[in-house]
Homo-oligomer: A and B are copies of this chain.
Amino acid sequence: MSSAVSIVNVDVYIALKKGSFHRMSQACFTSHLKISQKMTKASTFDRKGRATIVDVGRVAGVSDATVSRALNKPETVSAKTRARIEAAIAETGYVPNPLAKAMVSGRTYTIGALVPTLNHSIFSKFLHALESDLSDQGYNLVVAVTDADRDREVEKAKKLLAMGVEGLIVSGLSHNADLLREAARFAVPLIATSYYEPSAPLPTIGYDNKIVATQALAHLTALGHRRIAVAHGPVAGNDRTRSRIDALADPGEGASLTFYETTLDYAGGAAVVDRLEGPYSALLCLSDVLAVGALFQLRSLGKRVPEDISLMGFDDLDASQFTVPPLSTVRLPIQDMGRVTARAVCDFLDSGSPIAPRLLEAQVIARASTGAVPLAPGASDNPRGS
């Protein structure tokens, strides 16, 4: 418990167990480790706990400005004083105060992201990619979940702005007007993702939901499908879904689509299968989650995919390639979106490059869940059976 190797761990533990150690100073932690014998010299550097740049200067026998230089532009300070300063830093266990630095520089190197949920892998993956790239560029990512509530979104945006984020990333185009206003008040860039709409009042980085929906439909019509059921999640508050549906409004090619709204989860997909009416040769789900749910239900009803009905999804979840049969779908450029968004904000912040709207392309992934429509028209009947 008190062996040399674990002494730091022990300190941590003690610090956590004792409530009174709240803002416990680093000096407390290390003093008895290495500098107890020198405490006499470094007499007053435990003023309020943490050692400051001034304390380091005092110990090293130089001014605080010199210490600051040694830290930021080492080449502008002589080798020997630099050495003394380093020694003093080690001795005092000095650790720079990020707040003071941020205060004077006016920069926090922090970007805020507002996502509707973290339970949907689309958003998690986006954040994963976003964080990776932001991190590479020296930025931190603060995330806030909005639960798809516009008012909550504004609230959380305010909190993020109040903590000093230098950029704000949101999903989709539907937002409370205050969001724009607040971003403007704090003069931070605001970027909308999962959407491409160059005429929007803020820069968008994402895919064009209309194009994407059209791509999916084209895949099905190319296979000969004309009577197609379309399953989608709630339209309210989800502009992405709305766009996809709009794009499908006039399918052309003599195709006829019927829309089924449902909840955006596996159960919702399964439920649509039960509600299906009419002889559809294909079911297009505007989300893989729905498609997987539908697939399970179809199979448990004894329907064969794609022989009895073709099934197509949207997103390309990890699971989609492992279903039986593997799911045809449209792969959304989520990773790219994270990367491109990160680059855009950083470029703007670092060098002032304007943030331009950016269209990312989705890709139809044709797998085994979609097949040619049977030769005899109307050969596939109501999947509900009879």
| Chain-B contact segment, one of A4-12, A39-47, A232-240 | A4-12
Q: Give the docked Cα–Cα distance between A351 and B23 (Å).
A: 11
Contact with B along A255-298 (1 / 0, CB 8 A): 00000000001110010000000000000000001001100100
With A11-B184, A15-B184, A135-B156 as given contacts, are A324 and B299 in contact (CB-CB < 8 Å)? Answer: yes
Shortest Cβ gap from A271 to chain B (Å): 11
With A164-B98, A190-B12, A348-B19 as given contacts, are A119 and B109 in contact (CB-CB < 8 Å)? Answer: no
Q: Which residues of B contact A164 (CB under 8 A)?
A: 98-99, 102
Q: Which residues of B contact A121 (CB under 8 A)?
A: 119, 121, 124
Shortest Cβ gap from A304 to chain B (Å): 13
| Chain-B contact segment, one of A53-61, A79-87, A142-150 | A142-150
Q: Which residues of B contact A9 (CB under 8 A)?
A: 177, 180, 201-202
- Pick from B17, B141, B163: contact of A98, CB under 8 Å: B163
Shortest Cβ gap from A92 to chain B (Å): 12
Shortest Cβ gap from A365 to chain B (Å): 15
Contact A93–B354 (Cβ < 8 Å): no
Q: Which residues of B contact A222 (CB under 8 A)?
A: none
Q: Give the docked Cα–Cα distance between A95 and B162 (Å).
A: 9
A174 part of interface (Cβ distance < 8 Å): no
A160 part of interface (Cβ distance < 8 Å): yes
Contact B118–A19 (Cβ < 8 Å): no
Contact A203–B110 (Cβ < 8 Å): no
With A131-B145, A322-B270 as given contacts, are A189 and B15 in contact (CB-CB < 8 Å)? Answer: yes
Contact with B along A350-367 (1 / 0, CB 8 A): 011111100000000000
- Pick from B17, B95, B110, B128: contact of A118, CB under 8 Å: B128
Q: Which residues of B contact A132 (CB under 8 A)?
A: 145
| Chain-B contact segment, one of A25-33, A70-78, A244-252 | A25-33
Q: Give the docked Cα–Cα distance between A87 and B99 (Å).
A: 30
Contact A319–B299 (Cβ < 8 Å): no
Contact with B along A312-339 (1 / 0, CB 8 A): 0000001101111000000000000000
Contact with B along A193-209 (1 / 0, CB 8 A): 00000000111000000
> Which positions in A face B, CB cutoff 8 Å?
6, 8-13, 15-26, 28-30, 49-50, 93, 95-96, 98-100, 102-103, 106, 108-110, 117-119, 121, 123-125, 127-128, 131-132, 135, 140-145, 156, 159-164, 177, 180-181, 183-187, 189-190, 201-203, 265-267, 270, 289, 292-293, 296, 299-300, 318-319, 321-324, 348-349, 351-356
